[in-house]
């Protein structure tokens, strides 16, 4: 093989390798862009994005009847959704913030808020949630959502708020 043929062959190989390298980079760029797009998990497990998009998980307030610390039946489905999220995301943590209306002594309302938080905790655990992922805090009457002294406001203040501290 003469020198000119060798130089042409080497140049052809270099150009071919450069073209292959460029194609590889384009494929790599496409692969790195794909995870940035939020896509639903195909196995049915919840993701942190579902906390804001799933209608069941967006419901994070559980209401109670006057002077009661038992969970009303209409909140069982919500408990099941949050328990499933806890199962799907073992690293997640929830704080259950128990509240009461202004009626009753401060001490009684703190205790009532704690019992309400424990009722929600028990419902979550009964639906499959882990006790290690749950923390109960009582605020009693200290954090009302409505400040008027009437039944409508008192109903809003008798609640447990589900707060995700780790998603």
Other Cβ atoms closer than 10 A to 2: 7
What is the mean pLDDT of each successive set of 10 residues along the chain, which is 167 residues long?
A: 54 50 43 41 83 96 96 96 97 98 96 98 96 98 95 97 96
Single out the residue of 102, 87, 101 nearest to residue 133, CA to CA. Answer: 87
Structure tokens at 64: 């109670």
159-166 sheet: strands from edge to edge: 61-63, 159-166, 93-99, 134-140
pTM exceeds 0.85, yes or no: no
Residue 9 makes CB contacts below 8 A (sequence gap 6+) with: 1
CA distance 94 to 120: 11
């Amino acid at each position: 093989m003469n020198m000119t043929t060798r130089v042409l062959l080497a140049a052809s190989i270099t150009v071919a390798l450069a073209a292959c390298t460029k194609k590889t980079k384009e494929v790599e760029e496409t692969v790195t862009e794909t995870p940035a797009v939020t896509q639903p998990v195909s196995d049915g497990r919840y993701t942190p994005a579902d906390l804001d998009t799933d209608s069941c998980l967006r419901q994070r307030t559980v209401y109670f009847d006057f002077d009661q610390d038992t969970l009303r039946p209409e909140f069982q489905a919500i408990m099941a959704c949050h328990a499933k999220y806890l199962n799907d995301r073992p690293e997640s943590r929830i704080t259950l913030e128990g509240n009461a209306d202004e009626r009753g002594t401060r001490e009684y309302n703190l205790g009532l808020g704690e019992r309400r938080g424990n009722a929600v905790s028990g419902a979550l655990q009964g639906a499959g949630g882990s006790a290690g992922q749950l923390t109960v805090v009582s605020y009693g009457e200290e954090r009302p959502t409505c400040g008027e002294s009437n039944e409508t406001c008192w109903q809003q203040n008798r609640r447990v708020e589900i707060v995700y501290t780790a998603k």
